[in-house]
Structure 1
Amino acid sequence: MEHKLSEHSLPHEPLPRSPSIESSISQTKSLHIIDDEITRVKDDQELNEKVENLLKKKIQEGDKNALFQLAQFYFEQELYDHALVYFQRASDNGDYQAKYQLGIMYYDGLGGKEHHKKGFDNMFQVATATSNHVRHIIPCAQYNIGRAYFEGYGVKQSNDEAEKWWLLAADDGNPKASIKAQTALGMYYSREETLDLKKAFFWHSEATGNGSLESQGVLGVMYTTGQGCRQNSDSAFECLKEASLRGNIYAMGNLVTYYYGKKLYTKAAELALKVTQIEKIEDISKTTDCLPAFIAKGIALGYFYYARCLDLGQGVKQDNQLAKKYYSKAFEYDGATAQRLQNMVTHGKV
């Protein structure tokens, strides 16, 4: 299946954000825009120094919360070696948020070499915590534990354990649970090894209802093809259109497919051309929280269908030579998707 989950494709669940340390100290903001970049940088440096010095003073006065706050300040400044030291000190005092961040840092090698076992051990302590004041981060930690089991990082690979922890993190679709876990379960049940399309549809529906942009695009495809649900062209269009407007490139590529299948060639060509102009997949992934592999699939769809429009003169002026270049780019972005479409062309299905 095109929207299945593969090993080493999942992002971690970051610590739920609270207001930054800077915003809690800086009480007022200028009402005008400062155009002078040098002045802005100087102001930022002065604020950062003020924050750092204040938190260090609080630590000296015995404020245990300040240990985590300073560590988080360094983390947000990407001073990871400093952050690691203070997260460890806070963790030694029983701070579960610090343990969570240590798990992320060890897992991803921030502030030093990757140490997946240490990352797993710290995250596991959070995932199994019973304290009420950290319950808001427990589902996030449970998702990350599931990710570790699925990828086999820091622990022996186990699909069963991954599924168990993701189900805990997803909490029957609770909007306050881990939405990433809900999406991950949707993709997990789309894999050949763990195929259950009704479950996949259920979890993508839950995640979409809770705001998952990734799942909304997949849900549109499932409605289009009738995978795990009744085929519903109207629901497919609504999901794909809304997800596209929200920036889901995979949905945009599949919306091109939808338009082309309805013989709305001008719309298909216009949107396909827009998709072909998309670059910087990693940046888009960070902005939209969509997996790079699915962004690449969406771009490949755009290139292929624009090539097809050029090849046949559908919605655009016919240009066979230019079409060849676009076909080639489709294969560069995602060979499997492009080959699937090429096979459909060969059999007269596109």
Structure 2
Amino acid sequence: MAAMARARGLMSSAVRARCLALCTSSTSSRSTAPAAVRLHHQQQQQVLWGQRRALSTQQEQDPQAGDPMAWTQLQTTAVARGCKNVQDVLSALRGVDASFRVGDETTWGSVDKALQASGLNCEMKLGLAHDILGLDGRLSTVRPASAAVLMHVAKRCTDTPALAVSAQYSLGVLTLEGQGMERDPEAAIKFFGEASKQGHALSMYQLANMFLTGNGIKKDPPKAAQLLKLAVDRGLAQASTTLAEMYRVGHGVPQDNDLSFHYYQDAVDKGDPWAKVGIATMYNSGHGTEQNFDKAFQLNKEAAAEADIPLAHHNLGTHYFLGKGVQQSFEQARKCFEKAAGQGFAHSCFNLANMYMQGRGCEQDLAAARALYERAAHEIPDARELIAKIDQLQNPEQQQDDK
């Protein structure tokens, strides 16, 4: 009991300092590379073919491993699309393995030849590429096989530019991620660049991300900002959000709270839940707009409900903890921090640990606090000091012996 009491005294100021800092600058943990973090999330969301499943170790070792019914399913869908030489197409696709590179004319050439004789129009061929991707997790060669089909569409369907551009974008994503095939950022830059020249907003967005992170190309935040502005002009909501973050912190553009708020609002109007988290930060701080905790709370609540964004859950926890924009409730704060901590958000782990130290919104539990500090320590150096203090509280006799 004495250790518990000392823990409460120890943590009273630490809890307040951490929560207050995060309430007024809720995205501070991303300020060193704000757009890169934001874009990483959106990259995951913008792949055209839906959710992806990881390949098993067995599949990675054996190119033909996986569900044998998957090829049968692909045959059925190819026939349904009107493929005249389905066996030739499938045979060519079976020859594509994880070592395939987009520039490999030998492997791609066999697929190209089979598809030219398939009788499928460009739209059906693009659909076939997405049919193949729909087998992700069932065949280890899904991505390279799909890439081979997409290469055909990109090169042979120039008379239908929209389909060729869509294929180029998809190839960019595949070569950038490299899951199930060799990763090739330089090829991704080429594909995104070609599609961007045709006015493809998502390709501009992805290319901007690469300029921001230096992924396969020299970092160039101003160039990224130029590409994002072009994507914004074409109505891409997440481009507005990223540009808002860049203006908020002055990354690649002059720092400008008014422009930051403008672009956040544009993205909110277009339906991007991440923008709601960003603009809520500005309502919290009063930068670029009048301070309004009620509106900040509501925006974070909407973003958490719409997209389960860890930062939104964390910010809600901070609102509940401080009673800003909502009635104070340590129990509700704990629940919100738990949701974000469950997704690996370090600052929520830290705040939740503080609450277990204090016994606020929960029973005091030093062991639980210590475990949460361990999870937060990779991002928050203060956590290590608090772990040491918990160890000292729990083992005072050992500490005395060490002296």
TM-score normalised by L of structure 2: 0.62
Q: Work out whether 1:255 is the aligned partner of 2:324.
A: no
Aligned residue identity for 2:238: K
Higher RCO (Cα < 8 Å, 6 or more apart): 2
Residues 49 and 130 in structure 2, CA contact (< 8 A), matched pair in contact too: no
- Change in Cα spacing, 1:329 to 1:272, as seen in structure 2 (3 Å) is farther
- Change in Cα spacing, 1:313 to 1:152, as seen in structure 2 (3 Å) is closer
For 1:280 and 1:327, the matched residues in 2 are separated by 11
- Change in Cα spacing, 1:81 to 1:315, as seen in structure 2 (3 Å) is closer
Q: Work out whether 1:85 is the aligned partner of 2:148.
A: yes
Q: Work out whether 1:167 is the aligned partner of 2:229.
A: yes
For 1:279 and 1:315, the matched residues in 2 are separated by 16
Deviation at 1:258, TM superposition (A): 1.2
Q: Look up the match of 2:122.
A: 64
Residues 240 and 267 in structure 2, CA contact (< 8 A), matched pair in contact too: yes
- Change in Cα spacing, 1:47 to 1:329, as seen in structure 2 (3 Å) is same
Q: Look up the match of 1:345.
A: none
Aligned residue identity for 1:156: K
- Change in Cα spacing, 1:45 to 1:57, as seen in structure 2 (3 Å) is same
The 5 Å alignment of 1:120-199 reads 120-129=189-198, 138-171=200-233, 177-193=235-251, 194=253, 195-199=255-259
Is the radius of gyration larger for structure 1 or structure 2? 2
Q: CA RMSD in A?
A: 3.4
Deviation at 1:67, TM superposition (A): 2.3
Provide Cα deviations, 1:277-320, integer angstroms capped at 9, x if missing partner.
56774xxxxxxxxxxxxxx4xx3343333333344444444x26
Q: Look up the match of 1:309.
A: 355
Residues 87 and 99 in structure 1, CA contact (< 8 A), matched pair in contact too: yes
- Change in Cα spacing, 1:231 to 1:87, as seen in structure 2 (3 Å) is same
Deviation at 1:162, TM superposition (A): 0.3
Deviation at 1:322, TM superposition (A): 4.5
List 4+ stretches of structure 1 deviating above 6 A: 41-45, 263-266, 336-339
Residues 272 and 302 in structure 1, CA contact (< 8 A), matched pair in contact too: no
1:103 pairs, out of 172, 180, 183, with 172
Greater Cα shift, 49-58 or 97-106: 49-58
Q: Look up the match of 1:325.
A: 370
For 1:156 and 1:42, the matched residues in 2 are separated by 43
For 1:322 and 1:152, the matched residues in 2 are separated by 41
Q: Look up the match of 2:79.
A: 53
For 1:43 and 1:111, the matched residues in 2 are separated by 19
Q: Look up the match of 1:276.
A: 338
Q: Look up the match of 1:289.
A: none
Provide Cα deviations, 1:181-201, integer angstroms capped at 9, x if missing partner.
111112222335443222222
- Change in Cα spacing, 1:123 to 1:62, as seen in structure 2 (3 Å) is same
For 1:273 and 1:192, the matched residues in 2 are separated by 34
- Change in Cα spacing, 1:121 to 1:231, as seen in structure 2 (3 Å) is same
Deviation at 1:217, TM superposition (A): 1.6
For 2:29 and 2:242, the matched residues in 1 are separated by 14
For 1:197 and 1:103, the matched residues in 2 are separated by 33
Residues 142 and 166 in structure 1, CA contact (< 8 A), matched pair in contact too: yes
- Change in Cα spacing, 1:327 to 1:42, as seen in structure 2 (3 Å) is closer
Greater Cα shift, 105-114 or 223-232: 105-114
Residues 300 and 329 in structure 1, CA contact (< 8 A), matched pair in contact too: no
For 2:312 and 2:259, the matched residues in 1 are separated by 21
Residues 117 and 155 in structure 1, CA contact (< 8 A), matched pair in contact too: yes
1:201 pairs, out of 230, 255, 261, with 261
